[in-house]
Each structure stands twice: as structure tokens, then as C-alpha cells.
Structure 1
Amino acid sequence: MDREYTYLNCLAELGVGGAHPGGFKLTQEILSAEHIGKKTTVLDAGCGTGQTAAYIAQQYGCQVTGLDHHQLMVEKARKRIRSLGLPIQIVHGNTEALPFADSQFDLVLSESVIVFTDMPKTVQEFRRVLKPGGCLIAIEMVLEQPVSPQKLAHIKDFYGVSRILTEEQWVQLFQEAGFPSIHSEKYDLQFGVQNVPDFSLSEDVDVKYFEMLEHHMIMFESTKEILGFRVFRCKTV
């Protein structure tokens, strides 16, 4: 696949918000169960176009920082935040080397981000920037059942990821990063269902990106029994 036409570039050019498993509705449901107050410091890691970061600031009135590695996503997030007049800092940075001090955040939210990175580095960085008693909430795809090497290679190639982990492998990854308390939850949602995406289109979007989005939907239908997702709550002490 031409490296220019990647899944992440597709999301950026189309400005897709809520593209993660479960979509924005799941995000709202998850956050409603957390104890978020005005003094809570939140990092939306891989914030995309800023949909979730804006919601958290508006809903809870707390201090929110958004970070994304994709420059176009950062630009679109900053535009959203300016239009809403919200006091949110949007940072261009890498989850594998976060530009933040140790123990800076009470909550790190990562919505289908870790799988696209060097996973051990990213999880270790999330652990580093969390305060004692802080929490990482990660929504990530999981491999639900064995699949042929050819099929798995096709999925990884399309999404541009190096590995797709089982639930047990995810738990091990979080444990190795130093999280002493890990809770995994499977929601009664299909991968991507109940997700009404929020779009912020670039000008003159290449038609190939629309074709990629269609390919993604076809992929979703053909892998529903193979790919699922979990919400991981990883606590520090």
C-alpha cells in the first residue's frame, strides 16, 4: 500500500471523530462512571479532531490537555477548540515520548491509539505521567479468536499496525508497564456500531480516502467475529 494512503491519514483528511470501537457514545458512557471533578487533570492522548477533549471540558469543567502525533489532526483539534472558546491545550507530540512531567495527570484517556504505536513505550509513558492513584482508560481492539496468518497480515497491513493483541496479551502489557490494578470490560456493542462519526473534512479530499473508508466498513463486516474490543481501566497506586 502506498504509504501516503494510510488508515490514519484517511481519518485525518476526513477529520473523523469517534472512529474508535464503540464510538463517541461509548466514550460518554465510560466517562460517566468516573469521578471527574473540576480539579481533575485529564490527558486525551491521540485526541484526533478534539471531539472528546471538548466534551470533557464542557461536561466536567476540568483541566484537559489533548495530544496527537498527526499534524493535521492537531490543526483540526485546535480549530474546534478555538471555535468553542474552551481552555484546552492541544499539543503536537508522540505518545512514545510524552512532552509532560512525571505524575502530571489524574486520568489518561486513550481511544484506539496504543495499537498504532510502539505499544510498550506508549503504555510506559502513560504510566509515567499519571499521578499516584491515577487511571488510564484505554479502548483497544482485541483478537477474539485464532485467524489465519494471511487474514491477520491483511488486517494489520490495512490498519498499519504491527500486532493485534488478545485480551490476555493486553493485560500482560499493562502489567509489565507497572500498573498493579487492571480491569478489562467487554461491552455489549459491536465493533464500531452505534458510532455516528463527526467529520471535519479537509479541502479537496482525495477520492482514495473515501474509498479507504468504504474498505474499512467492508473490513468491519468481514472481521466481526475476529476483532472485538475491550475497555481497560489501569490504576496506579
Structure 2
Amino acid sequence: MIYTYMDFLASFGVGGAHPGGLQLTKHILSTENVDATKHILDAGCGTGQTASFIAENYACPLTAIDKNNLMLEKANKRFSSLSLPIRAEYADIEQLQFDDESFDLVLSESVLAFTTIPVALNELKRVLKPGGTLIAVEIVLEQQLPESEWRAITEFYGFTQLLTDSSWDNLLKQAGFRQIIIEPFNYEIDKDNVENAPDFSPSDNIDDQLIKILDNHQHLSKKYKNILGFRVFRCS
């Protein structure tokens, strides 16, 4: 069997796999006016770390979706263990089953790069209420790469594209977003805070090929640490 980077994330049950992890998620939500009237969509919830945090800290309606069945299984196991009244459901961000104008806030953490980006953005814009906000945490290309290296990165991770922040800005505008704020994350990760530690729920009997994917990921992260960055996109 040939495994993918997404298989690695699911098998190891990596929570907060997006850059900045849970600390960034907390920072993002702290700047939003989230109350009991706001309906949030966690678009690509993974193992449910962010959805759990929202459910535990904000008294608001929450919908969590993903299209990886193993991720969904681990998310729902997490919710059950915490006695949270939510359940992650299968959904494809490119073909959402929700009505138009369903959500006040859509949160997408390192998900869009794995999709057909213009299609996914159009769907997320469609399900946002007027005045609603999309917050996306996404990888950006800080400088141009030779095509061979660009292709090696996209093929390893399964990215459909590898974009600069200006290219992201253009695609967001094409999807109908009018106000787009692009933010770097300049806060140091508090490694002494246990809440910011890596979060794992590994499967039994993990294949050696998946461990090799982890090794390759660590190698690429180190090699391209000054070339692959990320931004927080706040769009309405």
C-alpha cells in the first residue's frame, strides 16, 4: 500500500497539525466576537482538537466536518471522552451539503491547500451569512522555487497548489470576498505550556512507511523553513 502525508496525519492522530497549533487557534478565536448567536463551521476538523476547544469554551452552535474517515473516528472518540455534545460528520469542502448563508464563522486550518482551491473557496463563501467571516490558516510560498523542488513539495504533501500570499489574495477576491486581511503569526510558541504540546492519538500497529513519511516531513520542514511560511487570512 502506498501511503500519503494525510494518511500519516490520520494514523498518528495529529491534533493541531496546522502551523501555530492550538495556541494560534486560541489567538484567532480570542479576536473574534464569538457568542451564543454565532454558528461556527470547523471545515476540515481532523481529530477534533479545535472543535473540542470551541465546544468547551464558547456556548455557540458548532458544526465539525472532515472527509477522512479515520480522522472522523478519532474526532468523535475525542468528543465522547470529553462528554461534548457534538459529532463530526463526513463532508467534502468542495461540495458542501449546507444551505446558503448557514454560518457566521468558517474556520479552516491548513485544509484549503489540499483542495481544488477556487472550488472550495466558492463553497465556503456560499455557506457564509452576509457579514460572516472565513478565517483560514494556510501555507504560503515566501520565495520562488525551481519547478523540480516545487513539484517535490506539492507531490509529497498532496497540495494542489503552492501559492504566495498575493496569489491567495487574488483567489479570495475571485471567490467574492471583499475585505481580506492577511496576518503573519509573530507569537512565540509557549513550549512549557502543556496545552501547546503536540497532540497525538496514534492507531495501533503503525506501518513503517508512515514513520518514513514523518521523517521526510521533518526533513522538508527543516530544508524549506525560510521558504515555506504561513498566514492567517481573515475574509468577509
Task: Report the TM-score, using the length of structure 2 for normalisation.
Answer: 0.94
Name the CA distance, whole Å, in 2 between partners of 1:81 and 1:99: 22
What is the CA–CA distance in structure 2 between the aligned matches of 1:140 and 1:193, rounded to whole Å?
21
Say whether residues 1:145 and 2:143 are aligned partners: yes
Counterpart for residue 233 of structure 1: 234
Q: How many residues align?
A: 232
Matched residue type, 1:180: R
Is 2:40 the counterpart of 1:39? no
- Give the drift of 1:5: 1.1
Cα distance, 1:185 vs. partner? 0.5
Q: 1:175-214 maps to which residues of 2 (within 5 A)?
A: 175-188=173-186, 196-214=197-215
Q: Is 2:106 aligned against 1:108? A: yes
Query: Aligned with 1:201: secondary structure?
Result: coil
2:59 alignment partner in structure 1:
61
Q: Unpaired runs of 5+ in structure 1? A: none
Q: Which residue of 1 aligns with 2:126?
A: 128
| Alignment partner, residue 157 of structure 1 | 155
Within 2, Cα distance between the matches of 1:69 and 1:127?
A: 19
Deviations 1:98-155 (A, max 9, x none): 1111111110000000000110111111001111110000000000001111111111
Counterpart-to-counterpart distance in 2, 1:209 and 1:232: 31
- Asked if the contact 1:14/1:202 (under 8 Å) is kept, the reply is yes
Q: Is the 8 A contact 1:6 1:160 kept in 2?
A: yes
CA distance in 1, matches of 2:197, 2:129: 33
Shift of 1:189: 5.5
Are 1:22 and 1:193, in contact at CA under 8 Å, matched by a contact in 2?
no
For 2:58 and 2:3, how far apart are their aligned partners in 1?
37
User: What amino acid sits opposite 2:211 in the alignment?
Assistant: F
The whole-number CA distance in structure 2 between the counterparts of 1:59 and 1:214 is 35
Identity of aligned residues (%): 49
In structure 2, the residue matched to 1:27 is 25
Shift in Å, 1:162: 2.3
Between 1:79-88 and 1:166-175, the stretch displaced more is: 79-88
- Distance in 2 between the 1:138 and 1:188 partners? 16
Match of 1:88 in 2: 86
Alpha-carbon distance in structure 2 between the residues aligned to 1:100 and 1:135 = 16
TM-score between both structures, scaled by the size of structure 1 = 0.94
Other structure's SS at 2:161 match: coil
Partner of 1:76: 74
Following superposition, the deviation at residue 27 of structure 1 comes to 0.8
Residues 74-109 of structure 1: CA deviation (Å, up to 9, x unaligned): 111111111111122311010000111111111000
Residue 222 (structure 1) aligns with: 223
Mapped partners of 1:25, 1:218: distance in 2:
24
Match of 2:13 in 1: 15
Once the two structures are overlaid, the 10-residue window that deviates more, 118-127 or 181-190, is 181-190
SS of 2:185's partner is coil
Distance 1:40 1:96 in 2: 23
**Partners of 2:198 and 2:215 in 1: CA distance:** 14
Give the alignment's Cα RMSD to 1 decimal.
1.6
User: Cα offset for 1:196?
Assistant: 2.9
